[in-house]
Amino acid sequence: MSIAHLRKDYQQASLTESDVAADPIEQFGVWFDQALKADAAEANAMSLSTVNDDGRPTSRIVLIKEFDQRGFCWFTNYDSAKGKDLAANPYAALLFFWSALERQVRIEGRIEKVSSEENDAYFYSRPLGSRQSANASAQSQTIANRDLLEQQLASVVGTFGDQPPRPEHWGGYRLVPEKIEFWQGRSSRLHDRIVYTRNADGRWSIGRLQP
């Protein structure tokens, strides 16, 4: 079978304006819980898209660690490629895809850094190996081979043992949403798309987009 003929007809569910909550964060919470209960693979994984100072977009998968009325949060190395993109252009897009439920959630908004207190609280809750790796890896920088990376890790372990500190260049970002779209796959590609847009007064408007 050719790639052009690979397709799936989505028939699990529908989504109408009367189905969704008035608040998109509440609605996201409902869908996220359903993804967890459905044992969707990596339900907390999301594609993060950024744009650098040359206007070139880049995407990668990161893991959401928190969401609330303030926005959607993840943690990384501020000196990484994505960190440099966000310093140059503090806007981004997130995409969750839960294939098991035939659903997507698209989120767009501005970026802010998480507080040092929140960074510390999350960093010191991580497994020891993850804390050591955060100190050992200069994320996104080139390295000659795997052996050198292992040597850097060994140096961190030798220096800090089981108490590696949070590096100053490591912390969280929060995307403050301006638009959130809930996409439910439907038969014959007539998908349901309900979009929330934040108004100037902070309130949300709800609309439907054509598939």
User: Is residue 93 within 8 Å of residue 111, measured between CB atoms?
Assistant: no
For residue 17, the 8-state DSSP code is T
Indicate the helix (H) or strand (E) that contains 59.
Answer: strand 57-63
Active site residue 189: yes
Q: Which of 56, 103, 189, 208 is catalytic?
A: 189
In whole angstroms, what is the distance from residue 190 CA to residue 178 CA? 25
- 67 Ramachandran zone, left/alpha/beta (phi>0; psi -120 to 50): beta
DSSP letter string over 66-106?
Answer: EEETTEEEEEEETTSHHHHHHHH--EEEEEEEEGGGTEEEE
Residues 6+ apart with CB under 8 A from 52: 58, 84, 85, 88, 89
Q: Are strands 192-198 and 204-209 parallel, antiparallel or unpaired?
A: antiparallel
Q: Indicate the helix (H) or strand (E) that contains 28.
A: helix 24-37
Q: How many residues does the chain have?
A: 211
Enzyme catalytic residues: 189
